[in-house]
Amino acid sequence: MSTSNIDGDTEAMSAYAGQLTAPAMPPSLARLGTPPDLTGLFEGIAMSVLDKAATATMSALLAKLTEDMVTDTATVKAAAAGYTAADVASALTLATSATKVIKQGVDLLKKTTSSMSGSGSGSASGSVSTSGSTPPVHSAGTAVPITGGAASVLPKSV
């Protein structure tokens, strides 16, 4: 999967986007607003300053993760909506094409039926009927002998 698109099941994508939430900021990060404790030994003061720096860094990291999750949720929701719209458009195109094919099939069937009914009233022309299990019959009404598996057509004069 490339980084420019999301490919997958749209229902799963929507469910993922709906459940993706950033965690709440821990209460320990609230101490960021208080000034460092400058009373006590040098080590205590240094630890207080480092704690404030670490708290600020962690707060910035969690803010960035929250922003990324919100962006990811919006991207996944948009992709799911786009894929759903594309699926609907493809289904509509498929239905339209199927309708055209069915219409062409009906038109062809009508043409075939009309040409069959129009050409069935001709005179004896030496044609052979091979329908069913009966032996082929010459258009003059006489049975056509079958030799070697192929129907032999008798001349028109017989």
Instruction: List pLDDT tens digits, range 119-134.
Output: 655 444 444 444 555 5
Domain for residue 67, yes or no?
yes
Q: Is the dihedral of CA 75, 78, 81, 83 positive or negative?
A: negative
Answer yes or no: is 32 within a domain. yes
Q: What are phi and psi of 138, to 5 degrees?
A: -70, 150
For residue range 55-98, what is the model confidence (pLDDT) as tens digits?
A: 888 888 888 888 888 888 888 888 888 888 888 888 899 999 99
Residue 73 lies in a domain: yes
Whether 28 contacts 54, CB under 8 Å: no
> 120 in a domain, yes or no?
no
The encoded tokens of residue 116 equal 């069959």
Residue 116 lies in a domain: no
- Tell me, yes or no, whether 139 lies in a domain: no
Which range of residues forms the domain containing residue 54? 10-110
Q: Write the pLDDT tens digit of every residue in 21-66.
A: 777 777 777 776 777 777 778 888 888 888 888 888 888 888 888 8
Domain-located, residue 44 = yes
Geometric angle at alpha carbon 64, from 53 and 70, rounded to 5°: 155
Question: What residue type is assigned to position 61 of the chain?
Answer: L
What is the number of structural domains in the chain?
1
Judged by DSSP in three states, 72 sits in helix
Q: Is residue 76 assigned to a domain?
A: yes
